[in-house]
Amino acid sequence: MKLLLVEDEEKVAHFISKGLEEEGYAIDVAYDGRRGLELLRDSTYDLLLLDLMIPEISGLDLLKTIRSWGNNTPVLIITAKSSKEDVVKGLDTGSDDYLTKPFSFDELLARIRALLRRSKVTDPHILEYKGIVLNPYSRRLHVETREVELTEKEFLIMEIMLRNTEKPLTRKEIADYVWQNQTDSTNIVDVYVNFLRKKIESVTDKKYIHTVRGTGYVLREDDEKV
């Protein structure tokens, strides 16, 4: 899972980011609202941790802006502003939860896990299989929390495989799905599957894509590459 923390207090940001990295999360940090917006414009995140009192662009204005874009990334506000009015403003603007400083790291982790579970439940379009997560909106693939950049064809191959996990797919089935019946060659499937397999195996010791002799390919998890 990839998170973004927007927090201007460097000591707090370091404490949170270091702890989350140790828990296995990938995390980017922005120290002001303007940089936070740039990252949210250019990248896709599973969760945004947002301080309200940040320079350049306030947390509330940042939140209003990304919601106006149609960005539905779950947002956990973390701030010293604890009045009911501040809480209501944050929730009404589009945040999903609110955590007041100071807080324990265990509570922060629990809130993060809850928001990530909730976002998965409400979005059935996310495709997952044993450490692999494919997001059809951002067109991004994560393997054991590490992002793998895909071409359009590689994305479509990954998509059909995730829709048919542990079921052998013929080369023709893959070609018809990816190239929309515009190619008669199944050799091109071998080329692109090989590209995809190498990218995945560059970030994990597990082997996911297997050749089925005389048929095609299957997506199945093995503990180690062979």
The helix (H) or strand (E) run that includes residue 107 is: helix 105-122
How far is the C-alpha of 127 from the C-alpha of 160, rounded, in Å?
10
Same domain, 168 and 90: no
Same domain, 26 and 83: yes
Same domain, 151 and 188: yes
Q: Are strands 26-30 and 2-6 parallel, antiparallel or unpaired?
A: parallel
Q: Which of the four pLDDT bands, split at 50, 70 and 90, describes residue 226?
A: very low
Range of the domain at 63: 2-122
Numbers of helices and strands, H then E, in the chain: 8, 12
Same domain, 81 and 182: no
Same domain, 108 and 150: no
CB-CB contact of 216 with 161 (8 Å): no
Same domain, 116 and 67: yes
Same domain, 13 and 86: yes
SS3 content of the chain, % helix, strand, coil (to 5): 40, 25, 35
Number of domains, the chain: 2
Same domain, 107 and 150: no
Query: Where among 98, 122, 146 does a domain terminate?
Result: 122
- Phi, psi of 143, rounded to the nearest 5 degrees: -120, 110
pTM over 0.85? The answer is: no
- The CATH number of whichever domain residue 152 belongs to comes to 1.10.10.10
Q: What Rg, from alpha-carbon coordinates, does the chain have?
A: 20
pLDDT tens digits for 157-191?
999 999 999 999 999 999 999 998 776 677 899 99
pLDDT tens digits for 127-166?
888 888 888 877 888 887 788 999 999 999 999 999 999 9
Same domain, 175 and 100: no
β-bridge partners, 139: none
For the ranges 108-122, 129-143, 197-211, which has the lowest average pLDDT?
A: 108-122
Of 179 and 1, the one with more pLDDT = 179
